[in-house]
Amino acid sequence: MRDAKFHGPPLAVSKDAGQFYCEHVYFAAQIEAALPTSSVCRNSAGEVLVGFLHVPPDRLTTAGSTSMGRRQGRRWTRALVVQALCGWDPELEIQLAEQPRRVLLTGFGNWGVVIDNPSGAFVATRVRTHKLLPRSVQWFSHVLPVSDAAVDGGPASIQQAIRACAPHVVISLGVATQRAGYSVEVSATDGGFDSHTGSHIEALPPRTTLPDNWALAKVLGLA
């Protein structure tokens, strides 16, 4: 059942992250978070606390868009991010006790028809979100390029952001221009992604499918 605290656009589970950089980032982040040396925590089901949330477009996203306003979209996205972190906190408390909770929040920059990406804009201006949470939460934000640099393990990549920030939780945002609501991704494959070179190759079929990760969906009341 959907959590009653969220009163925005439709919120649903998705098992199709798009086989583009959003899915590549979700795939690569889970691989990185599952390494024995990773700082990322797990829930009681053993799932790494890595989530991917597709946000809907707003009026600034594409030319001629008639979607919702940017401020309203930010409020709804903020409500979901805060709900997720509050939902994970009981399990983090068991594992971390009084240690500060380290949160990595990522979004994407502009590309193609997306002239002002709401995911990257939210990540770059997440101060109000921080104010809604305890001071013990330490925020790290990173706007990823929509290119191989997001997943090639280099300085701008999701893998390097996880290594450098040593977060306990990772929440990545991306925009789905064809969706009217929010989508919590639970499935990730390496379709279209050569993980050895960190390259997007459109014709590559999935070779590896990760187990579904419901960690974010659960705390948002979708499982």
φ/ψ (deg, to 5) at 191: -60, 130
State the Cα–Cα distance between residues 128 and 82, nearest whole angstrom. 10
Torsion, Cα of 152, 195, 52, 135 (10° steps): -50
pLDDT at res. 204: 97
Domain parsing of the chain, residue ranges: 12-196
**Of 73, 77, 78, 76, whose CA–CA distance to 61 is shortest?**
73
55-71 burial, b if ≥16 CB within 10 A, otherwise e? bbbbbbbbeeeebbebe
Q: Tell me, what's the pLDDT at 125?
A: 83
- The one-character DSSP state at 65 is -
Report the distance separating Cα 39 and Cα 125, nearest Å. 25
- What residues in the chain have per-residue pLDDT under 70? 1-5, 66-67, 126-132, 134-135
The pLDDT of residue 68: 80
Query: Please, which residues bridge with residue 126 across strands?
Result: none
Query: Tell me, what's the pLDDT at 5?
Result: 63
